[in-house]
Chain A
Amino acid sequence: MIARSPLNGLPASPLPAPNGDAAAPSETDLYAQLGVLARFIDTTIKTISQFHDPMSATTEQLPEAASHLKDLKRLTEEGAHQVMRLVETIQENHKNLTQTLIELAVNLPSPLDRAMLARLEQGLNALAGDDKRLTDIITALSFQDLVAQRVNKLVTIVDAVEHKLLELVVIFGPYTKGAGAAEASKATEMLKQLEASKTTAMNQDLADEILKQFGFN
């Protein structure tokens, strides 16, 4: 019967205790102890190797995930600019319309048509109210800046995690690109779909062009 160490199930040391209480182990005991130790190391290596492929897969997916996060930032930025372009056009039209209404009010023929003046004032007030709403739309778009800042932080985190995972993969065994392919499953599929959307996504102009080629008018 081999004595067990209280730590990690490892066999107890075959060496005599420093105070000389235990007798020196026999050669047979020593081989038995070495056998247990060898099995322990073998089990540990197998356990670690089970994590190798999932870690490799994750390490390979992270740069793509970071790239898609950056795309998200770019898309929200483009969307915000598009809304602002439209709002700015309306703001400019409102400015011209306001000027016109003021000129009409100032140049009303006498005797003064009070009903007409009241309607012009009503129009000016409505325009002022809408101008306030347009400015609110513009300021609401600052959400994009907050999104972008969070995305930047996420990208930094993903990069750091990737770096740490790569270190672990290198420590646990030789890193082989594609080793974790079988482990990738759902995450890989999602990344593939995202990647494909970069090249296959089309805008309405392109869709209309294709429809036209097929006889749609």
Chain B
Amino acid sequence: MPADPNMKILVVDDMSTMRRIIKNILKQLGFSNMDEAENGQEALQKLRADTFGFVVSDWNMPVMPGIEMLRAIRADEKLKHIPVLMVTAEAQKENLIQAIQAGVNNYIVKPFTAETMQEKINKIFNK
């Protein structure tokens, strides 16, 4: 099933530049319903307060890193179904394995292109 262009997407990154870049790419890909958070903790609050269909998150963030947020999402009965795409500069094999074990749906290494993001989103939602 292709991704619903109306679904609400949460973009999580401590860098405002990166949040803007990801939102711009998502907009170019046809998504318009987006919100953002600066760290995992803020993201979890937003996820629990609203209905989101997709999360795009960084790994390295203060307060709560992306990997902890991912584990919290998967441990939460109401949130565990939400697909999570990690976009991160953490390009170590160990990091990717950790993310897979934590239940990530896909993983993008920075710097990346719009095509890569489209490809990953297609893979997540066309399963």
- Identify the A interface with B (CB < 8 A): 77, 80-81, 84, 87-88, 91, 131, 135-136, 138-146, 148-149
Q: Is the CB–CB distance between B16 and A77 below 8 Å? A: yes
Q: Is the CB–CB distance between B114 and A143 below 8 Å? A: no
Set of chain B residues within 8 Å of A81, measured between Cβ atoms: 16-17, 20
B2 within 8 A of A: no
Q: Is the CB–CB distance between B21 and A142 below 8 Å? A: yes
Given known A84-B20, A144-B15, A145-B17, contact A135–B28 (CB-CB < 8 A) = yes
Q: Nearest Cβ in chain A — how far from B35, in angstroms?
A: 18
Nearest 10 pairs between A and B by C-beta? A145-B18, A80-B17, A142-B111, A144-B17, A135-B114, A145-B15, A138-B24, A135-B28, A142-B21, A139-B113
Given known A80-B17, A81-B17, contact A145–B24 (CB-CB < 8 A) = no
Given known A84-B24, A88-B24, A131-B28, contact A146–B89 (CB-CB < 8 A) = yes
- Identify the B interface with A (CB < 8 A): 13, 15-18, 20-21, 24-25, 28, 60, 89, 110-114
CB<8 Å pairs between A and B, sample of 14 = A81-B16, A81-B17, A84-B17, A88-B24, A135-B28, A135-B114, A136-B113, A138-B24, A139-B111, A142-B17, A145-B15, A146-B89, A146-B110, A148-B17
Q: Is the CB–CB distance between A145 and B89 below 8 Å? A: yes
Q: Is the CB–CB distance between B15 and A77 below 8 Å? A: yes
Q: Is the CB–CB distance between B16 and A139 below 8 Å? A: no
Q: Nearest Cβ in chain B — how far from A149, in angstroms?
A: 6
Cα A140 to Cα B18 in complex, Å, equals: 11
Set of chain A residues within 8 Å of B24, measured between Cβ atoms: 84, 87-88, 91, 135, 138
Set of chain B residues within 8 Å of A84, measured between Cβ atoms: 17, 20-21, 24
Q: Is the CB–CB distance between A139 and B89 below 8 Å? A: no
B25's partner among A77, A131, A139, A143 (CB-CB below 8 A) is A139
Cα A200 to Cα B112 in complex, Å, equals: 37
Cα A81 to Cα B20 in complex, Å, equals: 8
Q: Is the CB–CB distance between B111 and A143 below 8 Å? A: yes
Cα A145 to Cα B58 in complex, Å, equals: 11
Which chain B residue lies CB-closest to A140?
B111
Q: Nearest Cβ in chain A — how far from B25, in angstroms?
A: 7
Cα A131 to Cα B29 in complex, Å, equals: 12
Q: Nearest Cβ in chain A — how far from B19, in angstroms?
A: 10
Set of chain A residues within 8 Å of B13, measured between Cβ atoms: 145
Q: Is the CB–CB distance between B110 and A145 below 8 Å? A: yes
Set of chain B residues within 8 Å of A138, measured between Cβ atoms: 21, 24-25, 114
Which chain B residue lies CB-closest to A80?
B17
Cα A77 to Cα B18 in complex, Å, equals: 10
Set of chain A residues within 8 Å of B15, measured between Cβ atoms: 77, 144-145, 148
Which chain B residue lies CB-closest to A131?
B28
Q: Nearest Cβ in chain B — how far from A146, in angstroms?
A: 6
Q: Nearest Cβ in chain B — how far from A76, in angstroms?
A: 8
Cα A139 to Cα B60 in complex, Å, equals: 19
Set of chain A residues within 8 Å of B112, measured between Cβ atoms: 139, 142
Q: Nearest Cβ in chain B — how far from A204, in angstroms?
A: 23
Set of chain B residues within 8 Å of A80, measured between Cβ atoms: 17
Q: Is the CB–CB distance between A77 and B17 below 8 Å? A: yes
Q: Is the CB–CB distance between A139 and B17 below 8 Å? A: no
